[in-house]
Amino acid sequence: MSEPRAFLSFDFDHNEQSKILFAGQAGKDSPTSFTIEDWSSKTPLPQQEWERRIREKLSRTHMLVVLVGRSMGSATGVAKEIAMAKALNLPTFGVYVDTATSLSTLPSGLPRNRVIAWKWPNIGAAITQMMGEGRNAR
C-alpha cells in the first residue's frame, strides 16, 4: 500500500497559520507516515470551477482531514469539502486547532465523535483507522 494521502481542509480566512504549522509538523511529528496534499487555491475562483477542482483533488487522496478552528460556523467552503468527500466515500476526521474545543461549532457534516485534539499519537491512530475504513488503493 502506498503512503496515505490526506486532503487538508481548513478555514482559509481564520486558520491558514494553523494549516502551515500542521502540514509542517506532519512529516516529522506523526508516528504514522502520511502525505498532506496542500491544494489550497491561492486565488479566488468562480464557484463552479472551485468545486470541480476540489472534487478532482479529493478523488486523488485517501482521506479528508479538517482543521477545526473557532470560526467554523462561517467556513462554508469547509462544509462543501466535507460533503464532496462523503460523496466520494472518503473517510473524514477533524483536528481541533486555534484553541477550538469540544464546545466549538463544527462545520456541517463533521460529527463531533470524529474530531480529536492536535496530538500526533492520536492523529496517527486516526490515519490508521481511516485507511482501514476507506479505499486503500488510489
Domain locations in the chain? 5-133
Please, what CATH class does the domain formed by 5-133 belong to?
A: alpha beta
Per-residue pLDDT, 136: 44
For the whole prediction, is pTM greater than 0.75?
yes
Nearby residues of 74 by Cβ (< 8 Å), 6 or more positions away: 11, 13, 14
**Which residues of the chain are under the pLDDT cut of 50?**
136-138
Nearest to 100 by CA among 68, 58, 137: 68
Residue 138 confidence (pLDDT): 43
pLDDT of 1 reads: 52
C-beta of residue 104 within 8 angstroms of C-beta of residue 96? yes
Q: What is the DSSP letter of 4?
A: P
